[in-house]
Amino acid sequence: MLLAAAVPGPTLLQMILSVISGLAVGFSLGLIGGGGSILAIPLLIYFVGFNHPHLAIGTTALAVGINAYINVIPHFIEKHVYLREGAVFSLPGVVGALIGSELGLLTPGKKLLFIFAILMLVIASYMLRRKCVQATVEPNIKGSLAKVAGMGFLVGLLSGYFGIGGGFLIVPGLIVSGGLNIIEAVGTSLIAVGTFGVTTAFRYAISGEINWLIAALFVIGGVAGGWGGARIAGRMPKHRLTQVFAIIIIIVALYMLYANSSAFMHRKIFSKPVKSENLKPLLYGARLTSLRHRIRGFFGRGSESLKHRPPSVSIKLAGGFLSSSTSLAALSGAL
């Protein structure tokens, strides 16, 4: 049974902003291709205002997956889709996506966003460094279905963990492991992007981490934006646009690192409040130490520090330690 997310429903403004976010993501995908959907999660969190990382990841995974399945249709008509390679890449990736999404749900939201921001920097770096290659150029690489399957599992794992389509990884993965040229890899990659997105969304839906209305609005905006981006893609310098988009990703990633850095800096002294009865062994140990010092002092044995330390000092030290522990317990309880 698919559970509804335990959060208030979206406001009218949030619904409008969701369509705008879908337009932006779809437009960037249609304009520059792989890597465009990387901004879907930060848009949903910081622009739409869904301050719930797992909900944002599950919702965008569904939206990106459905958009990918829709956009594969024109590529299939143009015969740019290789079903065998797409299936061999996607099926092991489903297993990886399920494992990755399970790990993602176990990761605290702020930590997941912090790690995701690091991935954004890696993707932006790749986008800045990659060179434009002619779409029809055949790579001098011999395809291997075993390599395709192995690459599919690894990419599916990452896609499931971060809730992203993974097109920026799938396209070069298909080129390297499947021997496809770029336009064939882009068309075929949409099968995997859709499969990984829907698989991740399914696992998040079981945990109630999807807002179906927002996902639908995101898809509507994404389809319209993708159509518009594809229409003007040939009229603008794609390499320069990719560089500008990569710089935007870097700026957003740096902000996410700053906003979520507290996830790795906050540490509690005690994970649970310390009860007074738990401090009794410390008091007994302090009393035993004091008694041992008295015996050693009586018989004239022990180190100089023990000889010259009055028993009352040990009791005071124990009392001070107990007082400090009690204060820490109170502080922990307040936290």
- CA torsion 216→221→227→230, rounded to 10°? -120
pTM score, whole prediction? 0.69
- The Cα angle at residue 100 between residues 69 and 68, in degrees rounded to 5: 10
pLDDT given for residue 287 in this prediction: 61
pLDDT given for residue 290 in this prediction: 65
pLDDT given for residue 284 in this prediction: 57
Question: What is the block-wise mean pLDDT of the chain (335 residues), using blocks of 10 residues?
Answer: 56 93 84 71 90 90 89 84 90 94 92 91 82 49 73 90 82 79 82 92 93 93 83 70 83 91 63 49 59 56 45 45 44 41
pLDDT given for residue 200 in this prediction: 94
Cα 281 from Cα 304, distance rounded (Å): 28
pLDDT given for residue 176 in this prediction: 78
Angle (deg, nearest 10), helices 12-32 and 212-232: 40
Report the candidate in 209, 243, 242 with the shortest Cα–Cα distance to residue 44.
209
Q: What is the pLDDT of residues 260-311, one digit of tens each?
A: 988 877 554 333 444 555 555 555 555 666 666 565 555 554 444 444 444 4
CA distances from 21 to 42, 138, 219, 274 (A): 10, 36, 10, 47
- The Cα angle at residue 282 between residues 278 and 288, in degrees rounded to 5: 140
pLDDT given for residue 107 in this prediction: 93
pLDDT given for residue 319 in this prediction: 47
pLDDT given for residue 237 in this prediction: 73
Token digits for 194? 């859709």
AA identity, residue 90 = S
Token digits for 169? 């990884």
pLDDT given for residue 266 in this prediction: 55
